[in-house]
Amino acid sequence: MSLSEELAERLLSAIIDGTYPPDAALPPEGDLAEQSSMSRLTVREAIKQLRAQNVVRVVRGRGTYVNAPDRWTALAPVIRAASHSSHTSLSERLIEARRLIENGATELAALRRDETHLAELREHLATMREAADEGDTEKFVQADIDFHATVMRGTGNLFVPLLFEPFGALLAEGRRETSAIPQIRVNAIAHHEKVLRALEAGDPDQAREAMNAHMHQTATDYRTHVLKSGE
């Protein structure tokens, strides 16, 4: 990592932790150079990198200001910012993102999946059942993640599996929280069974509906069993 990249990372961390909130001005270039013990050229390059991601904006004659995360254009900084937001907000937004992507992916997978994908899905579902019986949350979470990853690959579109790649750690964390609850495991297995049946039938409308119902149940379970228990 170059010095400018290192400084850009440090500034991004300070922005995310609230040292420089949205619409706040970053210190002048000279002050940043002194604080970081780096040259003005390095500071300028670091700011340029943040500008390229729309994390900050330069107002001529006034200085460099922080943009709100919803204006950032790079995924990695947005995910880092999201992980520092309220846990409730993060979990619900992840479910919303999953619904948008997975409903369509499952519809496409119903048309393109092959017997290898179906065999993998059956195996993952069987592992989920075993893990639920054993009370093994980690095993259940991994099988759940593997099931959805197989659906993504079943679309036959190389881009689809990559859509969730940056969210991997966040999705696993959220699933550990919900899958630790026995009733949620029961609900999840039932909905995964419906998704599998729709994919086996090769019915895109049924597949989309089954995944949408699963996402709806996931959101409901989170609000019912996780949020209320924490109140």
Tokens 């937004």 appear where? 93
Among 72, 71, 68, 67, which residue's Cα sits nearest to residue 57? 67
Ordered per-residue pLDDT tens for the chain, 231 residues: 899 999 999 999 999 999 999 999 999 999 999 999 999 999 999 999 999 999 999 999 899 999 999 899 987 888 788 777 655 566 788 888 889 999 999 999 999 999 999 999 999 999 999 999 999 999 999 999 999 999 999 999 999 999 887 777 777 777 787 888 899 999 999 999 999 999 999 999 999 999 999 999 999 988 887 766 544
pLDDT of residue 231: 47
Structural domain boundaries in the chain: 3-74, 86-230
CB 170 within 8 A of CB 83: yes
Give the count of beta carbons closer than 10 Å to the beta carbon of residue 167.
17
pTM value is 0.75
pLDDT of residue 81: 82
**Partner residues linked to 40 by β-bridges:** none
Question: Which CATH class name applies to 86-230?
Answer: mainly alpha
pLDDT of residue 85: 63
Q: What are the structure tokens assigned to 46, written together?
A: 């670091």
What fold, for 3-74? Arc Repressor Mutant, subunit A (1.10.10)
Q: Crossing angle, helix 204-221 and helix 87-112, to 10 degrees?
A: 160
pLDDT of residue 155: 98
Task: Give the three-class secondary structure for 150.
Answer: helix
pLDDT of residue 125: 98
- Is 86-230 in the same CATH topology as 3-74? no
